[in-house]
């Protein structure tokens, strides 16, 4: 028997209340402690009255995860909140690893609540660039060795995946985005459509459509998602569309 609490790892979605699932709201409502980066609490202001809210800065992921595990292990009901989908570059894997290394998994109920990922949200704003196979690559070399990230860019373009590029550059890594463009140009034509979205579904949202060869001329930052089409992606109006392969002129919808 155990008097341990429970821990929800909650993906809030991209930020607007309109994109948060009822499941995520309910998880937060059910817990007495909410832990997260302080910027996220504004998104759930209507849910946190009377709850203990613990904020830690954006860089302190390990500390946030550790605090959530500790409080849950002590018997509290805890929500650890994450933007987007908690499983995509989010807090879920960090917590699960930590539980293992602490030998603390017994008796602690841990639930991962999926959210609308930033990639999905941003892609929708640009049309339907990912109606076909796609690859998601984060260029943050804090967590992925640069060499591996570059190998993935080449492999993805070589196999004609649509590519979503997260964290395309930060102040310290201004060379990374032109470098990604050059790697993709090994396999893709210069005029391949590319889309840049910043702050999807948040204040200050911007959407820009450009081409692979020109995309590095546009301003990007850590909050920008870049989607680069594959050989079949076309620009229709201001939207990127990757055909699914249906024949639109035929009676039989299958190619």
Per CB under 8 A, contacts with a second copy among 206-225 are none
Residue 219 or 245 having the CB closest to a second copy: 245
Q: How far is the CB of 140 from a second copy (least distance, A)?
A: 9
Q: How far is the CB of 217 from a second copy (least distance, A)?
A: 25
Among 5, 15, 114, 229, binds a second copy (CB under 8 A): 114
- With 0-12 / 13-18 / 19 or more C-beta atoms within 10 angstroms meaning exposed / middle / buried, residue 177 is buried
| 105 sits near a second copy (criterion: CB under 8 A) | yes
Q: Stretches 34-42, 43-51, 71-79, 155-163: which one binds a second copy (CB under 8 A)?
A: 155-163
Contact pattern for a second copy over residues 14 through 43, marking x by CB under 8 A: --xxxxxxxx--x-----------------
Residue 34 or 183 having the CB closest to a second copy: 183
| 144 sits near a second copy (criterion: CB under 8 A) | yes
Among 78, 113, 180, 183, binds a second copy (CB under 8 A): 113
Q: Stretches 43-51, 178-186, 211-219, 243-251: which one binds a second copy (CB under 8 A)?
A: 243-251
Of the candidates 175, 202, 181, 195, the one whose C-alpha atom is nearest the C-alpha of residue 236 is: 195
Give the span between the Cα atoms of 61 and 91, in whole angstroms: 7
| 189 sits near a second copy (criterion: CB under 8 A) | no
Q: What is the DSSP string of 109-152?
A: EEEEE----HHHHHHHHTEETTSS-EEEEE--TTTS-HHHHHHH
Among 33, 35, 47, 123, binds a second copy (CB under 8 A): 123
Give the span between the Cα atoms of 37 and 56, in whole angstroms: 5
Among 86, 194, 209, 226, binds a second copy (CB under 8 A): 86
Give the span between the Cα atoms of 58 and 75, in whole angstroms: 26
Among 4, 51, 61, 173, binds a second copy (CB under 8 A): 61
For the chain, the distance separating the N- and C-terminal CA atoms, rounded to the nearest angstrom, is 59
| 56 sits near a second copy (criterion: CB under 8 A) | no
Q: How many CB atoms lie within 10 A of CB 63?
A: 12
Give the span between the Cα atoms of 107 and 31, in whole angstroms: 17
Of the candidates 12, 229, 13, the one whose C-alpha atom is nearest the C-alpha of residue 127 is: 229
Residue 5 or 127 having the CB closest to a second copy: 127
> Phi and psi (nearest 5°) for 144?
-125, 130
């Amino acid at each position: 028997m155990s008097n341990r609490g429970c821990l929800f790892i909650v993906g809030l979605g991209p930020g607007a209340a309109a994109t948060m699932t009822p499941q995520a709201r309910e998880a937060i409502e059910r817990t007495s402690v909410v832990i997260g980066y302080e910027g996220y609490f504004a998104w759930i202001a209507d849910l946190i009255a009377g709850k203990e809210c613990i904020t830690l800065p954006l860089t302190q992921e390990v500390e946030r995860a550790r605090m959530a595990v500790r409080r849950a292990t002590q018997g509290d009901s805890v929500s650890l909140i994450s933007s987007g989908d908690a499983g995509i570059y989010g807090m879920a894997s960090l917590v699960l690893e930590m539980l293992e290394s602490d030998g603390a998994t017994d008796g602690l109920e841990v639930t991962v609540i999926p959210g609308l990922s930033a990639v999905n949200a941003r892609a929708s704003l640009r049309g339907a660039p990912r109606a076909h196979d796609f690859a998601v690559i984060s260029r943050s070399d804090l967590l992925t060795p640069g060499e591996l990230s570059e190998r993935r860019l080449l492999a993805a373009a070589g196999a004609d995946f649509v590519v979503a590029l997260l964290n395309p550059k930060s102040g310290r890594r201004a060379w990374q985005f032109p470098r990604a463009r050059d790697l993709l140009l090994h396999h893709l034509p210069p005029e391949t459509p590319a889309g840049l979205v910043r702050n999807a579904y948040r204040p200050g949202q911007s959407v820009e459509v450009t081409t692979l060869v020109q995309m590095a001329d546009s301003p990007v930052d850590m909050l920008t998602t870049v989607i680069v089409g594959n050989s079949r992606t076309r620009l229709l109006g201001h939207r990127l569309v990757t055909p699914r392969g249906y024949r639109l002129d035929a009676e039989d919808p299958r190619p």
